[in-house]
Structure 1
Amino acid sequence: MDRKYEVSTLKKGLLILDALQQGEPMRMTDIMQLFNLNKSTTFRLLYTLEMTGFIQKEGHTYTASQLKGQQHTSSENIRLNWLVVPSLHQLAEELGETAYIGVLDGMKVMTVQVVEGNHAIRSHTRVGDSAYAHLSAFGKVILAHITDEKLKKMLTHLTQHKATNQTFDDNHLLKEHLNVICQQGYAIDDEETEEGLRCVAAPIFYNGNVIAALAISGPATRLTRKKDRAVSKKIRECSAKITSLL
């Protein structure tokens, strides 16, 4: 076969799938070492294989799925992966700050798409990064729109890690804060994750359920409180556009 017709990303994904079908469950770090891949590439490949049902994640390990008799397509996640990119680029270019998409992953929110801002000093979020959901704007905006039953369960098990002096570490206060976020349609991380960094986020829905969040982040000296209203309006418009595309 002529190698010029090979699709390298597809080949890497198939090699990972074959390894998981042949061997024991593997962690992401094991796969990175086995195929000499970086974290970002490995995460994207594993995420795509998981969302299409070919592999499944149990704790921190991945195994091959038994596809027979299963519906192996998570349409909302597949659509999200493909459809958010143009809107994300447009938002980052318009506001000049880093734009990204996060999804709920257990007690944490994981970044699945990133478009860097155009400033030398900017937020450096990478695909695969994760943090406890109560820390970030896009974590809080997802928590604000999940069902009361799911939120109660999460708050019971959520590790109230305090990253800065601004971080919420009281469940009652956090729940009241989430009610405000739900009413206004956006969330703000006012140096709660990292000192000197602010973030504004809005939810993304699929069939009426929140499945992800769109966010913009940047230095507090540039992404000031005076800009919150204007920035949140643009982010809500962008998240509404993505929701309609889904």
Structure 2
Amino acid sequence: MKERWFPIKQYEVSTLKKGLLILDALRQEEQMTLSHLMTKFSLNKSTTFRLLYTLELMGYVKKVDHVYSLTNKAGMQFNPYNSRLNWLSVPPLYQLSTEVEETAYIGILDGTDVVTAQVIDGTHSIRAHSEVGERSPVHLSALGKVILAFLEKTQLEKILNELILVKNTNNTFVDLHLLKEHLKVILHQGYAIDDEETELGLRCIAAPIISEGNVISAVALSGPSTRLNKKLDKTISKKLIKCSAQISKML
């Protein structure tokens, strides 16, 4: 039987594409009215309203005095990978969390913060907690540190120059020189560890998600230090790297 090839556009979901175009436009313009968006994309009023209503309902867009803008959930530094990550990362993230029984996350970079983009809660009654949209300084967590370690050098220097090294615990890196050396170790080993740097009694391990040679986010597991102890670092890191590679391949 002769193999048939179809044009890529046949598989496009037009409604999804319109929604993503609106998000991208709001990222560039910051604030837009319904009529402005109608004109920009040649859409009728009913279609534009339904798209904006859905995005608002999902928490990606907010409306104030007839003006629409992005929320923190969408991220002011929105890029096309974010939406794809939210859909594609769920199955491998769920599988990882179920296997290890700890909370699993996806984190993205936003300025000098890392923002939680996806969460699958662990099964234990005592476990790490986070919510989508939660943010923290990038140097505090394994999620943030592994993204920093895999950034292009110029971008890394720019962020480090703007970063305020707040101290959460005695284990937090607050010396810039030591942090830079620590990032070299992370880059070499391929994963990062938050050894009670964000919160005492809590440990986290993270691996980068790479697409087209660039780090776009990170995947992590977090739990109490009594369960997620140092003896498990190698085993957990291998599972994380496998999960991140799976997501990268899907992207």
**TM category, shorter:** 0.7 to 0.9
Once the two structures are TM-superposed, the CA of residue 21 in structure 1 deviates from its matched residue by 8.3
- Quickly say closer, same or farther: Cα 1:119–1:205, change in 2 above 3 A: same
Once the two structures are TM-superposed, the CA of residue 26 in structure 1 deviates from its matched residue by 6.4
Residue 206 (str. 1) matches residue 181 (str. 2): no
Q: Which residue pairs with 1:128 in the alignment?
A: 133
Identity, in percent, stands at: 51
User: Secondary structure of the equivalent of 2:89?
Assistant: helix
1:105 to 84, 101, 110: 110
Residue 230 (str. 1) matches residue 230 (str. 2): no
Residue 96 (str. 1) matches residue 101 (str. 2): yes
1:172 and 1:131 map into 2 onto residues whose CA distance is 21
Write the mapping of 1:1-246 to structure 2, written as runs, cut at 5 A.
10=54, 12-13=56-57, 19=63, 22-23=66-67, 44=73, 47=74, 57=76, 74-246=79-251
- TM-score of the superposed pair, with normalisation by structure 2: 0.74
| Amino acid across the alignment from 1:127 | V
User: Secondary structure of the equivalent of 2:219?
Assistant: strand
Once the two structures are TM-superposed, the CA of residue 78 in structure 1 deviates from its matched residue by 2.1
1:210 and 1:16 map into 2 onto residues whose CA distance is 23
2:133 and 2:110 map into 1 onto residues whose CA distance is 11
| Amino acid across the alignment from 1:149 | T
- TM-score of the superposed pair, with normalisation by structure 1: 0.75
- Quickly say closer, same or farther: Cα 1:240–1:164, change in 2 above 3 A: same
1:14 and 1:140 map into 2 onto residues whose CA distance is 29
Q: Which residue pairs with 2:25 in the alignment?
A: none
In the TM superposition, what whole-angstrom CA distance separates every residue of 1:14-40 from its partner, at most 9, and x where no partner exists?
A: 9985835823x7685xxxxxxxxxxxx
Structure 2: unaligned runs, 5 residues or longer: 1-49
- Quickly say closer, same or farther: Cα 1:92–1:15, change in 2 above 3 A: closer
| Amino acid across the alignment from 1:10 | T
| Amino acid across the alignment from 1:19 | K
User: Secondary structure of the equivalent of 2:174?
Assistant: coil
| Amino acid across the alignment from 1:145 | F
Aligned length: 202
In the TM superposition, what whole-angstrom CA distance separates every residue of 1:58-115 from its partner, at most 9, and x where no partner exists?
A: 9xxxxxxxxxxxxxx9432222111000011000000000000000011100001000
Once the two structures are TM-superposed, the CA of residue 181 in structure 1 deviates from its matched residue by 0.3
In the TM superposition, what whole-angstrom CA distance separates every residue of 1:143-162 from its partner, at most 9, and x where no partner exists?
A: 00001111111111101101
| Amino acid across the alignment from 1:130 | R
Once the two structures are TM-superposed, the CA of residue 13 in structure 1 deviates from its matched residue by 4.0
2:96 and 2:65 map into 1 onto residues whose CA distance is 40
